[in-house]
Amino acid sequence: MSEKPAYTKPLPDLRPEDAPFWEAMKEHRFILPCDDTGKPFWYPRKYAPGTLSATSWTDAKGTGTVYTYSTHFIGPSKAYKGDPPHIVALVDLDEGPRMMTILVKDEDGYPSLDPEDVAIGMKVQIVFDDVTDEITLPKFTPAA
């Protein structure tokens, strides 16, 4: 296998409170933050939004439904130049929270899903894309 080309697309800002999430992603485990009543929320924060309660992490299934999407013909930086359109989506996870992701084919390199294959309300499941040695991004693909 040849070396992967350097990844030049945006990488997540890393804050101390996010470390458990990215550690889990690296191990291909999907976890969600919960408040002190066990209710999961998104996006992760050290203290729960609204109540500022202590938080913990819980395993999540990585399945959900497309709430909405936008097919991007232009990306946010030069790294997207020449790419086919990419589909940014908001997915309602089965556990409740809504998260942003990108819709891909479950194939080598996770290429973008074709725009005509996307619809609001479609069922999707997580795939783990190891974009660098340190960062694995939660992408979603049509549910099997």
Using CB under 8 A, list all residues that contact another protein: 9-15, 18, 42-44, 67-78, 80, 86, 88-90, 98-102, 115, 120, 135, 137, 139
Q: Which residue, 29, 66, 57, 59, is CA-closest to 140?
A: 66
State which residue, 54 or 67, has the beta carbon closest to another protein: 67
State which residue, 18 or 63, has the beta carbon closest to another protein: 18
Please give the radius of gyration of the chain, using alpha carbons only, rounded to the nearest integer. Answer: 16
Distance in Å, CB of 64 to another protein, minimum: 13
DSSP string, 69-125: EEEESS-SSGGGTTPPPEEEEEEEETTS-EEEEEBB-SSTT-PBPPGGG--TT-EEE
State which residue, 15 or 61, has the beta carbon closest to another protein: 15
State which residue, 56 or 71, has the beta carbon closest to another protein: 71
